Chain A
Amino acid sequence: MPIKVFVDTYVKKCDLKTLNTAFKLGYRILVCEEISEQLVSNENVRIVKKIVISSESTEDLKKQLWRINHKKYFITVEPLSIEVARWSAHDTRIDSIIITPRNIELFDKKQIGIMKHYSKPLEVTLPVLLNEGKAGSLLYRRLRLFASRKIPLIASSMASNWFELIPPYSYIALLETQFDIPRNHAYTSISLTPRVVLSRKEVV
């Protein structure tokens, strides 16, 4: 069983209240898109800045990546075309590829094969998991496929407020009961996999 250090890899907005709540829930690292002023990492919870890039062309993605110091930030790409999806799967500067209802159909077997080869993690957020539309059933099939191929999965809350955070064990239970993801795989998606990605950086 992996170690009990939980990481939330996508928090929209981090403030002191969010940080304290995350500590009570059991999270030790938060990856935030927007960090409120004067908020710094403490002994209990560490903060890492996250950058999400949505792109339709590789040229645009390359331009955006060129400006960012990839050693200091957690870089996630939301591919909006097959070209970007394939390219971001093998770029070492990119830490994860996010799946959303906008790009769900790009994750075909070939994409899975490339992601498996470069062991690029797939990131999924709670609002996407709880999607009640057509994308919900499509996501179930995709996640099952990713789990069967043992591709690393990263699960995050995408919380904008403190009460939108989800307890880690509830998240594991949700992945197990609603998406039939094996317990060990669900467990590593919020603990080991994000920690492995963060260990390559100069932030933790």
Chain B
Amino acid sequence: MYFEYISISILLISLILLVVVLGLLFKSIKYYIGLRKLVEAKIKPVGKPRKRYIVFTALCEEKTSLKDLEEALREMMIKYYGVGVYRKASPQIIFFDEAKGVGVIRVLHTCTKHLIATLGLTKRVGNTNCILIPLKTTGTLKKAKEYIRKNKI
């Protein structure tokens, strides 16, 4: 009789211990997952780097050259977003009509917004005051050129 009571109490204690251990295990798993999420970078991998083409127009006091424009954009992007973003974005002016002041810039798809903001912040190209207006973002150069042709910019 005495042994029965002891065995039942041991069984109960072992059950309670099992529940506590299981609870602690689940808690530790939860902490581990949380910690892993914190440690791992939140940014999703870009995957295949895609390009975007931004059509823009320059409203300037005087005519501007392609070289001055590239230099001004580089300076402004580094000033506001740093060298890292500039390297990743690698903006390239692939077409610029100096007479009309219309051009197309190629940029990495994740940095499109950074370049649009930089275009707006650029106020001086070479020695002239300028406003660079982003007009359209396209996925191909063909579409960008078609946009310029259709809208007669």
The DSSP consensus for interface residues of chain A is: helix
How many angstroms between the C-alpha atoms of A130 and B133 in the bound complex? 19
Partner of A25, one of B114, B121, B133: B133
Which chain B positions have C-beta within 8 A of A170? 116-117, 119-121, 134
How many angstroms between the C-alpha atoms of A161 and B132 in the bound complex? 15
Partner of A167, one of B81, B113, B131: B131
* Contact across chains for B129 and A169 when beta carbons are under 8 A apart: no
How many angstroms between the C-alpha atoms of A130 and B120 in the bound complex? 13
Which chain B positions have C-beta within 8 A of A173? 113-114, 116-117, 120
Known contacts A21-B59, A24-B59; A174 and B133 CB within 8 A of each other:
no
How many angstroms between the C-alpha atoms of A17 and B46 in the bound complex? 43
Q: B74 contacts the other chain (Cβ, under 8 Å)?
A: no
Q: A176 contacts the other chain (Cβ, under 8 Å)?
A: yes
How many angstroms between the C-alpha atoms of A167 and B80 in the bound complex? 17
Which chain A positions have C-beta within 8 A of B121? 130, 166, 170, 174
Q: A31 contacts the other chain (Cβ, under 8 Å)?
A: no
Scoring B residues 111 to 153 as 1 if CB is less than 8 Å from chain A, else 0, what string do you get? 0011011011101000001111110000000000000000000
* Contact across chains for A174 and B120 when beta carbons are under 8 A apart: yes
* Contact across chains for A177 and B120 when beta carbons are under 8 A apart: no
Known contacts A25-B133, A178-B80; A166 and B120 CB within 8 A of each other:
yes
- Measured CB to CB, the nearest residue on chain A to B60 is A163
Which chain B positions have C-beta within 8 A of A177? 81, 113-114, 117
Q: A60 contacts the other chain (Cβ, under 8 Å)?
A: no
How many angstroms between the C-alpha atoms of A169 and B113 in the bound complex? 9
Q: A171 contacts the other chain (Cβ, under 8 Å)?
A: yes
- Chain B positions near chain A (C-beta within 8 angstroms): 59, 61, 80-81, 113-114, 116-117, 119-121, 123, 129-134
- Chain A positions near chain B (C-beta within 8 angstroms): 21, 24-25, 130, 161-167, 169-171, 173-174, 176-178
The 4 closest A-B pairs by CB, nearest first: A170-B120, A173-B117, A163-B129, A174-B117
17 contacts between A and B (CB under 8 A): A21-B131, A24-B133, A130-B121, A163-B59, A163-B131, A166-B120, A166-B121, A167-B119, A167-B133, A170-B121, A170-B134, A171-B120, A173-B114, A174-B120, A176-B117, A177-B113, A177-B114
